[in-house]
Amino acid sequence: MLDAMPRKTANDDPLAPVTLAVGQEELLLDRAVQEVVAAAKAADAGTDVRDLTPEQLRPGTLAELTSPSLFAERKVVVVRNAQDLPADTVKDVKAYLAAPAEEITLVLLHAGGAKGKGLLDAARKAGAREVACPKMTKPADRLAFVRGEFRSLGRTATSEACQALLDAIGSDLRELASAVAQLVADVDGTIDEAVVGRYYTGRAEASSFTVADRAVEGKAAEALEALRWSLATGVAPVMITSALAQGVRGIGKLMSVRGGRPADLARELGMPPWKIDRVRQQMRGWSPDGVAVALRAIAEADAGVKGGGDDPEYALEQAVVTIARAARSRGRA
């Protein structure tokens, strides 16, 4: 599963005293954490997991979390965005690296680069197990990722199918992984280009991406019509929530940058140039608050279609209406 998992170096034991996950690819960072947590819980089902942001890890907090316990329980302490830790807390972490506690695994997630480099160097010098989680900026790397995802789930997909999936979904690894998992769950035998086409392209009016496009453009009636037709023709609800998420995230990403040529923005944001132009058209009525509201609605709908609600269709309809309203949030500001 090397293509689909973070690349590991040096000590490959997930129960090493310290794991250092370096990079900015969120899915790979999350998987690095999940691997350590799974190994710890396999060794001790009662493992206590603490997942902390820099704001939560104050001076003295790490010493408190790693102090000996009467019950000698196993513990995993995860520190996210370690490059943002304040100086006083960095001192605590460096002191801990020199003498890590037994039965405790510390996981440091660090973006790499110059910020917080002192902590990064200290962890490496202390012999931390390192997991590389770089952004996948090259199409060939993302294609290898998709192939690796199918292999890790024990399934075969043709090269044409992998490329078609990448073309349809884009560069977001989390969405690619979700799409692979859905295809594997729904389709028997070898997954080919025709299968991917049925799910992600096919008739435009039945496409989950058409639902998303109309919703983010603020066209609620058209989006609801496309949604009902998609569901009636067998498009999986989870594929629709994935498309909605991709559409809103694309707007959020483009909103966070200023100007620039489509080719330059495409490299920076991990989108094809043609999509930059489309998202620019779609984002005109959006505000940052609108993006936040839409993402919350999508999260609720996603939970609803995955068993958290009684009526997946209603959950999707509510999300579509909320997104369409959010698409006009700038005009109401």
pLDDT tens sequence for the chain (333 residues): 334 455 554 468 999 999 999 999 988 999 999 999 999 999 999 899 999 999 999 999 999 998 876 566 789 999 999 999 999 999 999 999 999 998 899 999 999 989 999 999 999 999 999 999 998 888 889 999 999 999 999 999 999 999 888 877 777 788 888 889 889 988 889 999 888 887 776 443 346 888 998 999 999 998 998 898 888 767 778 889 988 998 999 899 888 876 666 667 767 777 666 677 778 888 888 999 999 999 999 999 988 887 766 788 999 999 999 999 999 877 554
Cα of first residue to Cα of last residue in the chain, in angstroms, is 48
Q: What global pTM score does this model have?
A: 0.58
- Measured CA to CA in angstroms, residue 287 lies from 116, 209, 294, 300, 325 at distances of 32, 21, 11, 20, 11
Question: Which distant-in-sequence residues (6+ apart) come within 8 Å of 173 by Cβ?
Answer: 25, 26, 27, 28, 136, 142, 145
- 256's tokens: 């966070």
For residue 79, report the phi and psi dihedrals to the nearest 5 degrees: -115, 110
Nearest Cα to Cα of residue 36 among 97, 108, 141: 108
Beta bridge partners of 51: 78
- Measured CA to CA in angstroms, residue 177 lies from 33, 55, 65 at distances of 17, 30, 34
Write the burial class of residue 256 (CB in 10 Å: 0-12 exposed, 13-18 middle, 19+ buried): exposed
Cβ 63 vs Cβ 92: under 8 Å? yes
